[in-house]
Structure 1
C-alpha cells in the first residue's frame, strides 16, 4: 500500500509540475497578446476621453453663459441710479450728451430735480384722449439743469 501511495504521490507531483509549467508557458504566450489588448483598450479609453473632452469644449463654446460660475450675492435691493430722462432721450436719439449728466453730481441732481423750471408747462394726453397743458412739476419728468452750461 505504501508503494502505491508513493507512486501516486510521485505521479501527482509530476502532473502538478507539468500543469504549473503549462500555465507558465500559456502566460508567456499570452503576455504579448495581453499587452497588445491592454494597449488597444487604453487607446480606446483615451480616444473616448478625448472625444468627451472635445464635446464638452464645444458645448462650452456654444453656451458660455451656462458654464460661468455665479456669485453668491443676494438680490439687489437698492434702486437703480439713472441719469435724467433728458440725457436718456438724447442717448436714444444717438445725439451728443455731456459727460456731466453721468457724474455723481449730475446723477444726484437728476434724482432731486426733475425739470429746469417747475413752472414750465408740458403737453400731456389724458386718459380720455384729450390733450392739455400740465405743470411740469406735476408730471415729474423732463431734463436736468446743468450748472456747467449756465
Structure 2
C-alpha cells in the first residue's frame, strides 16, 4: 500500500457551491437534482472518502510509531548489552585484580596484635600444603619459619613458572609459590628437637589447609608413635637415626601411594620389621663408609710411589 504523504485530518472539505466547482456539479444535475443538491452530494462523497482515508492515515501513523518504538527498543537493548559487557569487563578486571593482589583485599580481623608472630611457612610450602602434597618438615622448624619471614615476597609476584600437574598438564603459576627456600634440610637429616618442633606446626598447617580430619589424625598418630617408640629412648647406635630415616622415607612414599589407585594405607601403624631393616641399612652404610675411609684404594696412591715400587 502506498504511503499517504499528508495528514488527512488537516484537510478541509471544499465548498462545492462555488462557481469553481460548476463543472463538477453538472454531471449530477438533472430534472430531480439542482446545483445546490449536487453540491451537497459532492460534500457527502468527499466527507465519506476523507473519513476512510483518515482511518488509513491513522493506521499508517500507528505503524510508524510501532516501528519507531521497535527501533528505540533495539537501541535500548544494544545500549544495555554494551553497558552489561562494560560492567562485566570491569568486574572481570576487578576479580583479576583481587586474584593477583589478594592480600590487598583480605578482610581485617577484629583482634589485637599477637604477642608472638604468626606461624607462616614459605609460599612454596604453603602451596604444597594446600594441594595436600608432601612437605619437608624443615619448613615448619624454627629456622624454616624464620627463613619464610625473612624472604617473604622476595620473588616478583608477576613472574610465572611452568608447573606440570599429576594429570600431565602444565599450567602457569606465580614463581614465588614454586621457589624452594635455601638451606632446606631433608627430613632424615633433621635432629630430634627440630622434628619434635616441626610436627605440631605441620598438624596445625594441615588444619588451615582444610585437610580431611581423618588424614590429619593419621599424620598426628604417625609422628606421635615415632616419638613414643622404644628406639626413641634407646642408646643403641642408629636406632634414633633409624626413626628419622623411616619417617622421611615413609612420609614421602605414603603421599605417592595415596595418589596411586589401590595403593594407599594407614601410615600411623609403624612397621617394626621395616624399621629394623632401616636400622640395618644405616648400619651397613656406615660400616662401608668406615672401611672405605680406613683402607683407601691402591689407585689413590701417587704415581711416583708406584714407579718407585716397580723400579725395585
TM range (shorter): 0.3 to 0.5
* Structure showing greater Rg: 2
Q: What TM-score, normalized by structure 2, do the two folds share?
A: 0.22
Whose RCO is larger (CA < 8 A, sep 6+)? 1
